[in-house]
Amino acid sequence: MKTLLSIAAGLALMAGTAHAEDVWTGGDSQPTSPLACDGAAPAVTAVPYNGAAVKGAADLKGKPISIVDVPKLIGIGYFNATAKGVAEGAKDLGSVTAKTDGPTKANIDDQITLIDNYITSGVNGIVFAANDPEAIAPVLKKALSKGIHVVGYDSDATPDAREWFVNQASFNGVAKALMDNLASQIGEDGSFAIVTSTFTTPVQARWIAEMTAYTAKCHPKMQWLETVEAQEDNILSFNQANTLMNKYGDKLKGIIGMTSVATPAAAEAVKQTNQCGKIAVTGLALPNSMKPYVNSGCVNGVVLWSPADLGYAAVQVMRAAIDGTLKPGDTSVKAGKLGELKIVNGSVVLLGDPVTFTKANINNFDF
C-alpha cells in the first residue's frame, strides 16, 4: 500500500483567488479546458495529427490479423467488460483474432513485460490501457518499430508511443458531470475528497486536473480536502474511504470515486457506518455494482459510459488503422455498430458523452 497523500484540509478552489497553499491534488500539469457552467457547447478547434507512425508494417488490408488486448489489469468488472467488447468487435469484423491478457494487479512493470512478450511472439496489433503513460512508452515504441500497430483506450500513453487513442468521453465532460452531480448533493460550500487508483494513472490524473479547473470556475466555494490512492483494489478503496471519514468527521460531505472499484467500495463504507444521506458518494462506476446503493437511496447517481463499447471501438479503430481507412487528418472513423466516431485533439477517437446513472434509469442497463 502506498503512503496516503495528505492534502491540506479546507483548500478552497476559488476562481480568481490564489489557493491557501500550492498543493497537488492528484491531477496532471497539462493545460485544462473547463466547460461552460451553463452547459453551452465548446468551440471545436482542428488539431494536426500528433500520434506515432508504425514502421515497416506488412500490408494486411482486408486480411486476417491477430491482436492482443493488454488492459491495466484483469479480473475486475470494468476490464471484464472492455474485454467482452474487444471480443465482440473482433467477431463482428470476422477477420480479427483477439486475445485479452493483462496483469492481475495494476502494475506497470508486469504490463510492460506482457507487451514485450507479445512483441517477441508476434502479433499484428496491440491495444492497451496504460498504468503509467511515461513508463509504458518505450515498449510501445518498440512495438511500432517492429511493424506492430498500437492503439490505446481508457488510459493513454504519450502520443508518440501509439497511433490512436480511444477516449471513453471528453475529460472536461467527465469533470463537469462529476462535479455538478456532487454539488447538487452537498451544496456549493460542501467539502469533499477523492479516492483514485494511482497518481500516475494518466486518465484519472487528467480527469482530476479538469475537475480542479471546472470546480474553480463553476463551484468556487466547494472545498477539496484530499485525494488518496487505492490502486484498483476493493479492500484498499474501502479502507481509504473509512480513513477519510474518520479523519475529517462532519467536515466531509462527499466522496468521489475515480474508478469502478473505488466508487462502490466508498458507498459500502458509507452504508456500513450508517452515513447514507449524510455523506454523498458519486464517481465512476459500473451500473450493476451500484444498483443496490442507488436503488436504496444511499447513492444519488454515478457517471460512466459503456466499457464494452470502449473495447469494441478499440478493435474497430485497430482494424481501420491497419487497413489504412483511418489515417492522419481524418475527422471521423467508422466503428461498426457504434457508427461514426469523431476524432478530436489530433489522434483521439471519442466514444461519446458520459451518462449519469440514477434511480430513474440505472435498471435499464446491464453491465
> What integer pLDDT is reported at residue 353 of this predicted model?
82
Residues 6+ apart with CB under 8 A from 305: 168, 169, 351, 352, 354, 355
Predicted confidence (pLDDT) per residue in 103-123, tens digit: 999 999 999 999 999 999 999
Cα maximum dimension of the chain: 63
- Tell me the per-residue pLDDT of 183-203, one tens digit each, with 9 for 90 and over: 999 999 999 999 999 888 888
In whole angstroms, give the CA distance from residue 122 to residue 143.
10
Give the pLDDT confidence of 79-102 residue by residue, as tens digits.
Answer: 999 999 999 999 999 999 999 999
Q: What is the pTM of this model?
A: 0.79
pLDDT higher than threshold 70 for residue 9: no
Predicted pLDDT at 44: 62
Q: Is the pLDDT of residue 3 over 90?
A: no
What pLDDT was estimated at residue 199?
87
What per-residue confidence (pLDDT) applies to 47?
82
Question: Does residue 9 contact residue 248 with C-beta atoms inside 8 Å?
Answer: yes
- C-alpha pair distances (Å), 78 with each of 82, 266, 312, 347: 6, 17, 13, 24
Output phi, psi for 156, to 5 deg: -80, 165
Name residues whose C-beta falls within 8 Å of residue 126's C-beta, 6 or more positions apart in sequence: 67, 68, 70, 115, 118, 119, 140, 143, 148, 149, 150, 151
H or E, element range at 272: helix 262-272
HSE-up (13 A, CA, CB side) for residue 228: 30
> Rounded CA gap, 160 and 169, in Å?
21
Report d(CA 232, CA 28) in Å as an integer. Answer: 19
Angle at 230 between CA 228 and CA 291, to 5 degrees: 105
DSSP state of 255: E
Q: What is the mean pLDDT of residues 288-314?
A: 95
Percent of the chain at pLDDT > 90 equals: 82
Would the pLDDT of 338 be above 70?
yes
pLDDT at 179: 96
- Residue 70's DSSP bridge partners are 128
Q: Which residue has the higher pLDDT, 144 or 20?
A: 144
Report pLDDT for 40: 86
Residue 366 scores a pLDDT above 90? no
Alpha carbon 208 to chain centroid distance?
11
